[in-house]
Chains A and B, each alone.
Chain A
Amino acid sequence: MKTSVIVFPASNCDRDAAVALEQATGKPPAMVWHAETDLPDTDLVVLPGGFSYGDYLRSGAMAARSPIMRAVVEKAKSGTPVIGICNGFQILTEAGLLPGALLRNAGLNFVCRTVTLKVENNQSIFASAFEKGQTVDFPVAHHDGNYFADKETLDRLESEGRIVFRYVDNPNGSARDIAGIMNDAGNVLGLMPHPERVISPLLGGVDGALFFKGLVEAAAR
């Protein structure tokens, strides 16, 4: 299984994502600089967390228009799994691969702590390692994680089972406690919390290791 991590200026979870992917696949991912125009042969693309372009204009806005994103959008449309974590989620909404937007946290605070998520839907490649309704603990670290979309969009996400993870105790004011959603084709996931930060007991948990292992296994099927 070949994986890629896109590196934007001021990405800061790209190496954590690389370690998580190598742990899950046995092979290091290709690290692809944002100025590239082509992706290497890849079965899974990760847009990592961070503060790409210093969050200028809007979080993820500049990164979503960087050269490599044309190739990422094309890959996503052809069915290759793409996940965006934290800033990666913001980039996916700005690129139009996921609906809605991530606004400033309702409480204005930067939120940095471990949160508990409920697995809402395990019928996708993204959460097949988990039972529906079970909880997992992933850290969050963001200022703009307040998921927003109009009512029709939120209702559609609910009715189509596209809310994959929900916060048990909402840390940022997200609509309908949304922590992670997928696109209608089921191959693009945006997730505010950081599974790549809990891939070993040494880091305080292994729920993230289960997430990546399950994703890699499901994507390889």
Chain B
Amino acid sequence: MKARITVTLKSGVLDPQGKAIEGALHGLGFADAANVRQGKIIEMKLDETNEAAARARVEDMCRKLLANPVMENYSIEISA
């Protein structure tokens, strides 16, 4: 299976990079760009063939390394 993990800063956590990107977009004339937040995407391939088991495995990875629950949320997509 393939996994795609999206890690984002929790709402309420200051995202100065998002703010800088928003400022640059405004400078380029995209005046309506608001609440810009920057996150990251992690992709991987897994030997696991069962979707639920693959998801559980990636959940474990998120808790142990891929996301920091103090400041980040994550979501997981599993595909064949």
Give A contacts to B, CB under 8 Å. Answer: 57-58, 61, 65, 93-94, 99-101, 103-108, 146, 148-150, 173
Contact = CB atoms under 8 A, between A and B. Distances in A.
Interface in B56-80: 64-66, 68, 70-71
A101 B14 contact: no
Contact of A61 (B14, B20, B65): B65
A150 B71 CA distance: 9
A200 B20 CA distance: 39
Nearest to B65: A65
Contact of B70 (A57, A93, A106, A107): A93
A99 to B, nearest CB: 8
B49 interface: no
The interface residues of chain B, by DSSP majority, are classed as helix
A57 B66 contact: yes
26 contacts: A57-B66, A61-B65, A61-B68, A65-B64, A65-B65, A93-B70, A94-B68, A100-B70, A101-B68, A101-B71, A103-B13, A103-B14, A103-B71, A104-B16, A104-B17, A106-B16, A107-B16, A108-B16, A108-B17, A146-B14, A148-B13, A148-B70, A148-B71, A149-B70, A150-B70, A173-B14
B16 A58 contact: no
B13 A105 contact: no
A57 B41 CA distance: 11
Contact of A105 (B16, B65, B71): B16
Given A57-B65, A99-B70, 8 more contacts: A57-B66, A58-B68, A65-B65, A94-B68, A101-B71, A103-B13, A108-B16, A148-B14
Given A100-B70, A101-B70, A148-B70, A106 B14 contact: yes
A150 B20 CA distance: 24
